[in-house]
Amino acid sequence: MSTTKLPALPEPLAAEVFDSHCHLDIMVGNRQASSGDPVAQAAQAAQASIEGILREARSVGVTRLVTIGYDLPSSRWNAETAGLHADVYAGVAIHPNEAHASTPETLAEIEELARLPHVRAVGETGLDYYRDWASRDDQHASFRAHIEIAKRTGRALVIHDREAHDDVLRVLADQGAPDVVVFHSFSGDAEMAGRCAEAGYFMSFSGPVTYKNAGYLREAAAVVPKELMLVETDAPYLPPTPHRGKPNAPYLIPLTLRCLAEVKGMEPAGLAEAISANGETVFGAW
């Protein structure tokens, strides 16, 4: 990946860590960015390659990543890509914004993909009340179907929760949560974090935890046990400070992790080691 149009490399970490959630297919242009998606457009203009993304991530201590599907084509692509790279795992699912596409046939293929050895998560699925691209009825039905796929396949459930905290927790309790649940790009407050921790759910923090106006996220991170914490980019979206508005990439994980370490009163290396151990609990051994 060229860094001429992207943020500079941060100081490397003293201990290895991984990116628990990114979208390689968008970063490398497998899904062409629309005119309304300037961040993805900028990422694709940099003409990234998977090898380049992995190389730059490794150079700062980010040695592995999980690339996440959001519809059937992206799930297929990410599953195939993970099969070709030992440092990459995949998640497969229909995003809640695409829940109208969760047909029986589509969900059957998602389950088939989820059973592949290099696919370690069902997600991202969940509820999104910020956008109305799919009806709430369709979102709830799709979310429940993905919960059952995660349970049948023994995969981690990766949740997209946007302005739907109470309903996401309610559905998990009602449907019966899988053994491993991850709240991707955790967006709740300290009270929500406490509820998730009590249920044993993992919480993954992304770039917004570094933003000046996101004190509530730092308060949430402060109460999350380190045994339930993950870190992610959601690349090419949600870059950490000081790179808001620019494309994100796995090599920027150190900026978010250092913020989390400060919040937790830990050395970054110690938190990186804890998060790496959590990654093996969530996604299995690499």
150 in a structural domain: yes
9 in a structural domain: no
Kindly write down the DSSP assignment for every residue of 202-261, as one continuous string: EEEE-GGGGSTT-HHHHHHHHHS-GGGEEE---BTS-PPTT-TTS---GGGHHHHHHHHH
277 in a structural domain: yes
> Does pLDDT of 39 surpass 70?
no
59 in a structural domain: yes
pLDDT band at residue 132, thresholds of 50, 70 and 90? confident
Owning domain of residue 77: 17-283
> Does pLDDT of 235 surpass 90?
yes
Give the pLDDT score at 5: 61
Give the pLDDT score at 136: 97
Q: Is 100 annotated as a binding residue?
A: no
Q: Is 234 annotated as a binding residue?
A: yes
Mean pLDDT of the chain: 94
Q: Is 23 annotated as a binding residue?
A: yes
pLDDT band at residue 6, thresholds of 50, 70 and 90? confident
| pTM for this predicted structure | 0.94
Mean local confidence (pLDDT), 221-242:
97
pLDDT band at residue 2, thresholds of 50, 70 and 90? very low
Is the CB of residue 244 less than 8 Å from the CB of residue 227? no
103 in a structural domain: yes
Q: Is 160 annotated as a binding residue?
A: yes
Considering its fold, how many domains does the chain have in total?
A: 1
Mean local confidence (pLDDT), 129-151:
97
Which CATH number goes with the domain that contains 230? 3.20.20.140
Token pair of 98 as six digits: 């695409």
Give the pLDDT score at 1: 37
> Does pLDDT of 197 surpass 90?
yes
3 in a structural domain: no
Give the pLDDT score at 98: 96
Q: What is the pLDDT of residues 158-184, one digit of tens each?
A: 999 999 999 999 999 999 999 999 999
12 in a structural domain: no
Q: Is 111 annotated as a binding residue?
A: no
Integer Cα distance of 128 and 111 in angstroms = 22
Per residue in 202-215, is it b (16+ CB within 10 Å) or e — as a string? bbbbbbbbbeeebe
